[in-house]
Amino acid sequence: MSLKIFSNLKKFLNNIALINDDGKQYTYSKILNYADKISIKIKGRSTILFICKNSIESIVGYLSFIKRGCVLILVDNKIKKNNLSNILSKFRPKYIFHPNQNKFNFKKIFLFKNYSLSKTNLKIDYKINNKLALLISTSGTTGNSEFVRQSYKNLESNINSIVKYLNIKSNDRAITTMPMNYVYGLSIVNSHLSQGSSIMLTEKKIVDRGFWEFFKKFKATTFGGVPFIFEVLKKLKFKKMNLPSLRYITQAGGKMDEDLLSEFIEICKKRKKKFIVMYGQTEATARMSYLSWKSSKKKIGSIGKPIPGGKFFLQDKKGKIITKSNIVGELIYKGKNVCLGYAKNRFDLIKGDENKGTLKTGDLAKKDSKSFYYIIGRKKRFVKIFGHRINLEHIEEILKNKGCNCPCIGDDKKINIYIEKNKINKNKVEKIILENTNLNKQYFSIILINKIPRNKSGKVLYSHLDKKNNNNL
């Protein structure tokens, strides 16, 4: 077990660490003091179900538990009750750190502002690997998704790489635009805390006037976003906003439309801001590559080159390495930030490093003559909506378990769910999706078709599912 993470924070004691959107500021000295008061309530190396918000309580709790050597199961504050129950049953955490409004039938042992630390009475019948630091979901939508097992070495490696290529300084101020249980959002938190920078914490959305008032008042220097955020920013007329403190913007969480990307690159170029495109996965502790802002226009659509300490190569269907340019293969990544593996339940927490520093991304890519990489598709049936990776087969499985056999297709904007006329009720399908996932109505459509197309062996012919030729319910 390594506890090097955040071990250097004492040299930043007088720096402003956190700023709430109500204007309250907290120094590193203050939050480390708070963190110590929480950590003494924890006995041994324990698992903690951590319900996250972009708040002072969440950041302090995170610091406290990481420094204490606990294993955190990170989930969003908006998690569905049945998904929360499922996690409690499968992982049996010893503690829960949660907002006060979340009611659990367990004893509260410590109160910190608007959060509580509760001790569960669940039987601890499992062991924890010494390398394990975090369990973080591969998907932002379903409670049944696997958790990625991230180690302390994974976190350290990713922090060091990000700090190096983004040149993060102690006078930087990052404003939150994503939840901290999302690997990209957490990566921003980790990298900025490690350098004694400030994090501006808000639960407000970018469509709220209060978000931009907060941004300007406390002079944010950077923010990150998934493609959807930039679609919204365009509607908000971002190009007309006067944000003199802004130094750079990062984009990850899925491929961005090239016209939209080009527009933001131009906006930033005119205002002498840096727009940095990145590529990553939860399994790589957030990020694997970046496209230098200097190359953003010339190499538009590229995910760039590997982060410091990482390596890419392409593999053909037979497992042979592709050396020639512009030949498509599966993108493979090597680096110290590659996770240990997955966890489906508490008995997986003892497992060691199953990946050995190598990740098969499942993405199909090619590289040009200058070794810039381009994602051109996916090997498996995944989409990325609001930066979260969603397995379409998993959505189908949820529906099937509820008696609805519905094939799904989609892209990074919307999932289409197909039902046969007079066989399945549309309202039932919609209810299942809303109750068992975090998908908003705007991210899925239910399509009525006469018959699900299948081949002779009964397999669904996904290529024959085309909503243009059917009636949208």
Tens digit of each residue's pLDDT (9 = 90 or more) over 277-315: 999 999 999 899 999 999 999 999 999 999 999 999 999
Evaluate if residue 472 carries a pLDDT over 70: no
Could you tell me where the DSSP H helices lie in 309-407?
A: 392-401
Percent of the residues in the chain that have a pLDDT greater than 90, as a whole number: 74
The CA-atom distances, in angstroms, between 362 and each of 149, 317, 358, 375, 391 are 18, 12, 12, 10, 12
Please write the tens of the pLDDT for every residue from 360-384. 998 999 999 999 999 987 777 778 8
Task: Report CA Rg, the chain.
Answer: 22
Backbone phi and psi for residue 432, each to the nearest 5 degrees, phi listed first: -60, -45
Q: 95: closest CA among 75, 114, 121, 115?
A: 121
Query: Mean per-residue pLDDT for 109-134?
Result: 97
pLDDT score, position 159: 95
Evaluate if residue 3 carries a pLDDT over 80: no
Is the model more confident about 473 or about 128? 128
pLDDT score, position 383: 83
The kind and range of the H/E element at 111 are: strand 107-112
Q: How many CB atoms lie within 10 A of CB 200?
A: 25
Number of helices (H), then strands (E), in the chain: 10, 28
DSSP letter for 255, please.
Answer: P
Query: Mean per-residue pLDDT for 176-201?
Result: 96
Percent of the residues in the chain that have a pLDDT greater than 70, as a whole number: 95
Distance CA 201, CA 211 (A): 10
Greatest extent of the chain over all pairs of C-alpha atoms, in Å = 70
**Most confident stretch, 256-265, 399-408, 453-462:** 256-265
Query: Mean per-residue pLDDT for 224-240?
Result: 93
Task: Grade residue 8 by pLDDT with cuts at 50, 70 and 90.
Answer: very high
Q: Among 46-60, 131-145, 192-206, where is mean pLDDT lowest?
A: 131-145
CB 118 within 8 A of CB 107: yes
Take residue 253 and report the two structure tokens written for it: 């969480």
Evaluate if residue 473 carries a pLDDT over 50: no
CB 247 within 8 A of CB 222: yes
Distance CA 45, CA 115 (A): 21
Take residue 422 and report the two structure tokens written for it: 């007079």
Please write the tens of the pLDDT for every residue from 57-102. 999 999 999 999 999 999 999 888 888 999 999 999 999 999 999 8
pLDDT score, position 1: 56
Task: Grade residue 456 by pLDDT with cuts at 50, 70 and 90.
Answer: low
Distance CA 26, CA 12 (A): 12
pLDDT score, position 222: 98
Distance CA 365, CA 315 (A): 10
**Own/partner long-range contacts of 276-279 (Cβ < 8 Å, ≥24 apart):** 276/166, 276/248, 276/249, 276/250, 276/251, 277/250, 277/251, 277/252, 277/302, 277/303, 277/304, 278/250, 278/251, 278/252, 278/303, 278/304, 279/252, 279/303, 279/304, 279/373, 279/375
Query: Mean per-residue pLDDT for 32-51?
Result: 96
Query: Mean per-residue pLDDT for 176-197?
Result: 95
CB 391 within 8 A of CB 381: yes
Q: 182: closest CA among 145, 147, 139?
A: 139
